[in-house]
Each structure stands twice: as structure tokens, then as C-alpha cells.
Structure 1
Amino acid sequence: MSLAIFDLDNTLIADDSDFLWGQFLVDRGIVDKDHYEQANKKFYEDYKQGTLDIVEFLHFSLAPLARHDAEQLYRWRDEFIDSLIKPIMLEAARELIDRHSQAGDTLLVITATNRFVTEPIVKLYGIDNLLATTPEFKDGRYTGKFEGTPCFQQGKVELLRDWLAESAETLAGSCFYSDSHNDLPLLNLVDRPVAVDPDAKLRQAAELANWPIISLR
């Protein structure tokens, strides 16, 4: 038994849920199309280049949550999951998760995308443990702010270390599956890093380090 850690976007699903949620808001007319769509694309390009200012992005991406009551947000989220997420869930990802589960491994998803968006996706894969950026929720509403450390780059390592300190798990025999060079801090921490349909920077790093490179597409 060991710890099996998975990135979510472009790893267990065939696109980026954070970006897709932003486009969903645009398409439904929930946010201003011209401003929001342009900014959403810019932040996504910054992410892919490794230059994303995560705090600036979170102020942008969490702001719409503060403008609507929680029940309406949950209805929109259900529609988002059904229309945009379920079609990009990967059968090979399910099989990989099942193999680790049958081996008795502890399953954990760790993702930069906020918990509001990702929690129902992770549940669809039958995984109970999730580390993600947490939107602040007070008096029955989202505030547009976030709690604690953003779950991004080195922040993933910090949050994982905190989680390990509170659990009975260790990194002995651990593996981490990711597509992104933004996850190199955590990939370098685990015993068995695996590049999944990697971006160019991660592929280069994986080849230099002789890490396994797999595809779930």
C-alpha cells in the first residue's frame, strides 16, 4: 500500500476544468463576454507558460462566485459537469485509478483548480481525498476570496506536507501522475513520478530524468 497522487486537468480529464468553467460562465451570459473571455484565455496561456500569477488569477476566477447565491451556483455547476466535464472523463484514467485502488493504495487528487469546480469531478472518479485551492465561504455565500495556500506549484508541496502530517500516510513508495511542468516541485518529491500526456517542458524534464511517460488519451 502506498500513496497514489493524481493531477486532474489534462491528466484525469482531457481538458482544463478551470478554463472550461470560465468559458461556461461566458457562454451562459453569467459574466461579461468580452472582458472575461479575453482574461480567461490570457490566464490560461500564462499557466501553460509557467508564468501565472496565481493570486491575481484567483481574484479573477473566484469573483463570480461572490455575485450569486450558493444554490444558483450549484445548479450551474451541475449543468457544467453534465455538459462539459463528463464527456472528457477518460476511461484509461478510470482503469488506472482502479488498479491503484485494487492494490490498496490511498488515492489523492491534488489540483490547482479550486475546490468548488473540482470536488464533484473527483467524486465522479470515486476518489475521496482532494487537495485544491479553497474558496472562502462565509454566512452561506462565497466571498470571492480564498483560504490558506493556493494549491499551485510549490504550494502543492506545502499542502501535501500538511496533509501528510495530519494523516497516517507517507511518501514511501508514492507516485504522482501529472501533465504539467508546473508540477515539477511535486514530481521531484515523490518516489515514482509519471508524466501523463505531458506538455513540452515536462516531457523534456521527464526524458532527462528517465521518468515514465504515459498517455491516458
Structure 2
Amino acid sequence: MKLALFDLDNTLLVGDSDFEWAQFLIEKRALDRELHEARNLEFYEQYKAGTLDIHEFLDFQLKPLSRHPRSQLETWRKEFIEIKIKPLVAPGAKKLIESHMLDGDLCIIITATNSFVTAPIARLFEIDNLIATNPEEENGEFTGKVLGKPSFREGKIDRLEEWLNQHNLTWLSFLQSWFYSDSLNDLPLLSKVTHPVAVDPDPTLKKHAETKGWPVISLR
């Protein structure tokens, strides 16, 4: 058995779904533009620089989920997928995923973005397995807090190993493993698999990949 892991934002997508969701809510006037737009941009720059405080960011990103009924959020999400996400699908993404599926590999999207936003995106790529940051719920509504460990940086390894354990698997279950990512934030997991692949990488990851001899590809 072989394992194929895919980062989502700026890897399978030509853009960041977390960032775009906040911008979408601003456009819907569900968030105040003056208060949230600059902060959203600031967090995005911190992410790209590798300096993001994930808990500070999640407090910013998940609180809006608690301010609106689940039914309203799902209506907005459906529109968000159609007008914001579908145009961002990287041209080579589905072909790459299909190549692993045809080989019978276990395919998983693993992302720091919350599962409410990313679950329908995973379905868009026809991948059944998703590891994402989980927003806490009570009685079917979001509390604005995170549930468990965020799947960010080293947390991606922890969350993946939890997932594997739940499915009676370990790293030793796989003869080979791939991880496709664009981000320096994913260096811990990239260093764990047998086949790390830098996809349209940021400058730090690109330099690291070239030093290590990792493949550098583009899906755009």
C-alpha cells in the first residue's frame, strides 16, 4: 500500500481557501470590512512568512462561525464554493490525484484550514479522506473555538498519525508515501514522507527542496 498526501491551499488550489472565506464573508457583510480585511491580510502574510500564531489566527477565523446559524453558513458556503473556489482549482491538480488513485494509493487531503470550509472542497477533488482543523460544535452550531489539535506545521504529523491509528494503520503500513505542498510551514511533514514534492513552492521551500534534491513541480 502507498500513501499520497495533498496540501490544499496554494497546492491543489491556486489561492488560499481560508483567506478567501474571510474575504467572502466581508463581501457578504457578515464581517466588518474595516475591522477584518486588514487583519485577514496580516495573518496571510504571517502564514507565508512562517511566523503565524495558529491559535491567534483560529480565534480570528472561527469566531465568525459562531455568530451565524449553521443553515446560513451552509448557504453561504455553497455560493463560496461555486464563485470563489471552483475557479481556483489548479489545472493539473485533478490529473495528479487521478494518477495516485489509479495506482490504488490511499489519498488524503491534509490542511490547516478548518473542516467546515474544506469538506466540500475535498469532495470537489473526489477525495474521501480529509484531515483538517476541526471547529468545535454544540448542538449542531459552532462555538467559535477549535476542537483538538490544529493540523498545522508539526500538528499535521500528529493529526495524520491519529487518523492512521484510527484506521489501524501506521507509517509502516506503506511502502512509499508522498506529500505535495507549496509551503515552508509543511517542512515537518515533507521531511517525514519517502517522496516529498514541492508544488509551486514559496521561496523558502523552493530553496530547501533544491538543496535536498526534492522534485519541484507546478500544477498551474
TM-score normalized by the length of structure 2: 0.97
- Aligned counterpart in structure 2 of residue 211 of structure 1, from 199, 211, 214: 214
Q: CA deviation at 1:166?
A: 1.7
Which residue is equivalent to 1:74? Answer: 74
Determine whether 1:177 maps to 2:174.
no
Secondary structure in 1 matching 2:116: helix
Q: CA deviation at 1:163?
A: 1.2
Question: CA–CA distance in 2 between the matches of 1:90 and 1:197?
Answer: 10
Question: CA–CA distance in 1 between the matches of 2:88 and 2:108?
Answer: 20
**Counterpart amino acid of 1:198?**
P
Deviation digits for residues 80-130 of structure 1, max 9, x if unmatched?
A: 000000011123100000000000001000001000110100111000111
Question: CA–CA distance in 1 between the matches of 2:162 and 2:150?
Answer: 13
Secondary structure in 1 matching 2:108: strand
Alignment of 1:25-104 (within 5 A): 25-104=25-104
Question: CA–CA distance in 1 between the matches of 2:127 and 2:186?
Answer: 20
Which residue is equivalent to 2:201? Answer: 198
Secondary structure in 1 matching 2:11: coil
Asked whether the 8 Å contact 2:4–2:177 carries over to 1, the reply is yes
Number of aligned pairs? 217
**Counterpart amino acid of 1:33?**
R
Structure 1 residues without counterparts, runs of 5 or longer: none
Asked whether the 8 Å contact 2:161–2:170 carries over to 1, the reply is no
Question: CA–CA distance in 1 between the matches of 2:96 and 2:168?
Answer: 23
Asked whether the 8 Å contact 1:3–1:170 carries over to 2, the reply is no
Which residue is equivalent to 1:162? Answer: 162
Asked whether the 8 Å contact 1:197–1:216 carries over to 2, the reply is yes
Which residue is equivalent to 2:131? Answer: 131
Q: CA RMSD in A?
A: 0.8
Deviation digits for residues 132-190 of structure 1, max 9, x if unmatched?
A: 10001111210000100011001001101111212244433000000000000000000
What is the percentage of aligned positions where both structures have the same residue?
54
Question: CA–CA distance in 2 between the matches of 1:125 and 1:77?
Answer: 16
Which residue is equivalent to 2:143? Answer: 143
TM-score normalized by the length of structure 1: 0.98
Deviation digits for residues 35-81 of structure 1, max 9, x if unmatched?
A: 10011000000000000000010000001100000000000000100
Secondary structure in 2 matching 1:145: strand
Structure 2 residues without counterparts, runs of 5 or longer: none
Question: CA–CA distance in 1 between the matches of 2:74 and 2:210?
Answer: 42
